[in-house]
Amino acid sequence: MRVWWLSAGLALYCLAQSAAAGTLLVVGDSISAGFGLDTRQGWVTLLQTRLKDEGFDDKVINASISGDTSAGGHARLPALLAAHKPDLVVLELGGNDGLRGQPPAQLQQNLASMIGSARQAGAKVLLLGMRLPPNYGVRYTTAFAKVYEQLAADMQVPLVPFFLEGVGGVPELMQADGIHPAQGAQQRLLENAWPAIKPLL
């Protein structure tokens, strides 16, 4: 009888641990997909390692696609939410919208809809903000940056103001194209996001 109780107790403990483990879904573009890198070197993989090192059982699903825009992420999100039932959704989108000169209002609408859908599915949301190079002009770059600030304020969503802080514009941390972070930048990207991710776990 004692053995049965011990076995039952262990089974319940394992079940509780499994139930406590959450799922973190990253929906992004090439920056999170690890364009030009071995995917094992990307910041999202480093995030999974960080979680384990700090005692979290959460599983990270990287649903990022190189070249994706906010419209693409918006179209893909419902299926991702249904398939993975995440507890936390990290949105890293918008860079390609900006590089293509798409209207900031369209970016804001797409991201707002994604935030709403994720919350409706029971997930918390973290927004990773982007900024554009100055050659896109002050008016456009300012309007682009304000999209993230406005969403954070209006929808009360946590925001990392500039995910590429300390990386963008630093030649030794960028690949030859000057757009995509190099391997040496991936740890910095993780450090930029981690302080905002940890409280949401």
| Distance separating alpha carbons of residues 148 and 97, to the nearest angstrom | 13
- List Cβ neighbours of 163 (8 Å cut-off, separation of 6 or more): 31, 92, 128, 129, 130, 189, 192, 193
| Length of the chain in terms of residues written | 201
In the set 29, 30, 32, 68, the catalytic residue is 30
Distance, first Cα to last Cα, the chain:
38
Q: Is 38 annotated in the active site? A: no
Q: Is 97 annotated in the active site? A: no
The secondary structure of 97-122 as a DSSP string is HHHTT--HHHHHHHHHHHHHHHHHTT
Q: Is 30 annotated in the active site? A: yes
| Catalytic residue set | 30, 177, 180
